[in-house]
């Protein structure tokens, strides 16, 4: 008799172990999950992404011979919560950066444009009064 140990690290997963004849050998649902789960018929091997879940099926081999299949299914609620959390954090960081850029540009604008305005004012005064003794301050 072969002992099979399956360790599940996924948060909301439903593992099912099938025999070669596609009959369910074993399946597990965590105690804290309240939903009803019925093992599906053996799906095709590979990954299947759906809107609210992700499932993975892989053939199990022993000494090069297939002895069954392992099916894992996980809902994507945790992933969706994390995406929403990261989106909110990104929005806060982007807003903060825009505010910092606005304040810095307003502060630096006076240091850069004030001498240009003073020079333009001096040029207008020289042109309108014909007073060539005026000088622009540095």
Is 58 contained in some domain? yes
| Structure-block tokens of residue 131 | 């007073």
Q: How many domains does the chain have?
A: 1
pLDDT digits (tens), the chain, 138 positions: 444 444 444 445 678 888 888 888 887 776 666 666 677 788 888 898 888 888 889 998 989 998 889 888 888 888 899 999 999 999 999 999 999 999 999 888 888 888 888 888 888 888 898 888 877 776
Query: Is pTM, for the whole model, over 0.75?
Result: no
Quick check: 28 and 15 in contact, CB under 8 A? yes
Is 43 contained in some domain? yes
Distance in angstroms (rounded) separating the CA atoms of residues 79 and 61: 31
> What range defines the domain where residue 28 resides?
13-75
Is 121 contained in some domain? no
Is 116 contained in some domain? no
| Structure-block tokens of residue 47 | 């990954």
């Amino acid at each position: 008799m072969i002992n099979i140990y399956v360790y599940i690290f996924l948060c909301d997963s439903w593992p099912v172990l099938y025999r070669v004849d596609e009959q369910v050998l074993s399946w597990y649902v965590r105690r804290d999950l309240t939903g009803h789960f019925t093992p599906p018929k053996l799906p095709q091997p590979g990954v299947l992404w759906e809107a609210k879940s992700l499932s993975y099926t892989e053939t199990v081999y022993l000494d090069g011979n297939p002895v069954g299949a392992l099916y894992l299914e996980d809902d994507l609620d945790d992933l969706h919560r994390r995406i929403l959390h990261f989106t909110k954090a990104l929005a806060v960081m982007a807003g903060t950066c825009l505010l910092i850029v606005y304040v810095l540009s307003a502060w630096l604008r006076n240091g850069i444009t004030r001498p240009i305005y003073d020079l333009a004012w001096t040029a207008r005064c020289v042109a309108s009064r014909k007073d060539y003794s005026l000088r622009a301050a540095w």
